[in-house]
A and B are shown apart, each in its own frame.
Chain A
């Protein structure tokens, strides 16, 4: 069963990732990307990494992609060529899948009984104490916290600077050049030089 599910979700992830690249319409591309993220989240669930799966859905499929969609729709990107008759079929298929998902959700919510297993913190006592000892991995959120703030402290801090560099980068690249800080610098952008090669 797990094997089959793995192949199903891997296929979903790969196919939607491919569709995202190939899609001529930016909105469709973004939606395919969401599906791809959801497929990845499902793979995390199969690996019993529930916390990462939840984060994947909340952060990537949720927050980040909503921003993407907002920007794409606000920018009013031209719609690519799409087959007219295909659209109806896709809408039909999409609504069927949507209703099926709703049915599953209702059944799961009211049927009860099928909860995900409760993750627990494994005994860490057996681990060797020392610089090179392995950290016993468990899916409990606590375990992430312990690792992040003890063993992986330095990469964690560096990741903060990585994000800072990204933020500064966005400001630098999106700022108009003539909003520069100096008054003495030449105001014109590029003076084309006569090349005598």
Chain B
């Protein structure tokens, strides 16, 4: 190999700093070692796998937090791996976010798997891979990296959704998610390819031979924001992401998949998958598509308005709780889109508001999904509102956590969800989205109806004498600690929002 070539290649590999993605590498290693642990240990000891996964993730979370606070100050975005990934304060926050999600999902998965005749190791393995994939996804600054990370996450999710092999609903959900996911990936990829093609055209100004890199693409798009192929490509990319976040014309898969998937997987889909989609959308809107605000703001505004109305109206008449959480999740995606639109129209601090909202959504959703996991019987897909009759009387602790979680999701004042919504709406107001703001407030009012319908079912006594057939598992001390943490954090963020230092 000649010297010049070697020198050149060295220049490319100089930024391959593997230590920068230490948490992801540790997660992947943990996932691999779980498989080894299962192979090596005797059958009786395999229940330990869940514990290994849980404590391993706790350790990685600690590593990640230490990296956040003691690592080199990440003021701006730092390009790593030849511009494949960029790290910033936002990505550090999201890494911790996804680790928290996978921790909760592992924990709830352990509870779910105890009741099902299913293999355990693979579940934890896939959850870890999804977490690592999402952490890379939000850090990616290059469409190749984005797509590979996204596909890793999606393929693992196909399996997780279909994990309940003994339930027809889970298999059906897996198939539906597979088809819709493949379709959305195809749309996203088509958009990426169009952008790659048009930005790599040497006849146009500012064309780049590495036109999938965000910064190169941003430079190109800022000069060619009227180009038809650019607009089409950007719209297709945004449409592909809208599939992931479940925004309205692409929400069709949400209720069925949420209902069929095992409850822990549903919570993972609802929180982590959605959050990843929103962070990617935020990065695109601020990065490569910054020059396309005139196109994206009206399109996203229509999508947001329809999403909020559809999600809330469809959730009102829903009796199945997993479908209800799915549909209300669509509505939450609508509120979050408000923040994205505000960012796209120039209110920069709205990014912090979106992240704050995502975090309160994590706390609220996992509180509710955890209670649902405890309260579910052996048939995971069939969880009706009516099963929660007199729930709070029999399980005062779980009832209390449920009330706090639902209250936070509905946006009731002393809880974190209220602050999240408040700041999103302030951001939308500053961006001048008055019509959209009206729709969102209407949506919140509708949402209070169905969230409190659930609370009423659980807390207030009934006149009809039907005896509830479900028997919830009694939470152990450790479960109580975890649930208590979720509820307390919701309350804390409501009373003292500065704890997250994301808001102005």
Using CB atoms and an 8 Å cutoff, list the residues of chain A in contact with chain B: 124-125, 127, 129-137, 146, 150-155, 158-159, 161-162, 164-166, 168-169, 171-173, 175-183, 185-197
Contact = CB atoms under 8 A, between A and B. Distances in A.
B43 A153 contact: no
Interface in B58-110: 79, 81-85
A133 B79 CA distance: 12
Contacts of A158: 133, 136, 145, 148-149, 152
B228 interface: no
Contacts of B40: none
How large, as a class, is the contact surface on chain B? 35 or more
A132 B79 contact: yes
Given A162-B155, A181-B46, A154 B84 contact: yes
Greatest chain A CB density within 10 A among B12, B159, B378, B470 is at B12
Given A134-B209, A168-B126, A154 B159 contact: no
Given A150-B82, A161-B133, A177-B166, A193 B149 contact: no
B120 interface: yes
B117 A127 contact: no
Given A134-B208, A173-B159, A193-B377, A152 B144 contact: yes
A33 to B, nearest CB: 15
Contact of B5 (A124, A177, A188, A190): A124
A138 to B, nearest CB: 12
A186 B117 contact: yes
B129 interface: yes
A155 B126 contact: no
A168 B43 CA distance: 19
A179 B117 CA distance: 8
A187 B377 CA distance: 15
Contacts of B466: 196
A131 B79 contact: yes
- The 3 closest A-B CB pairs, nearest first, are A134-B209, A169-B159, A129-B11
Given A135-B209, A162-B148, A185 B85 contact: no
A127 to B, nearest CB: 7
5 contacts: A135-B12, A152-B84, A153-B13, A159-B152, A169-B155
> Could you tell me the dominant secondary structure of chain A's interface residues?
loop
Contact of A180 (B12, B16, B118, B378): B118
Given A162-B155, A175-B165, A193-B379, 10 more contacts: A132-B82, A146-B9, A152-B144, A154-B84, A155-B149, A161-B133, A173-B162, A176-B165, A185-B116, A196-B386
A182 B81 contact: no
A155 B148 contact: yes
Interface stretch (B210-218, B350-358, B489-497): B210-218
Interface in B1-53: 4-5, 7-9, 11-16, 21, 28, 38, 43-44, 46-47
B165 A130 contact: no
B115 A162 contact: no
B166 A190 contact: yes
B378 A190 contact: yes
B394 interface: no
Interface string B164-193: 011110000010000000000000000000
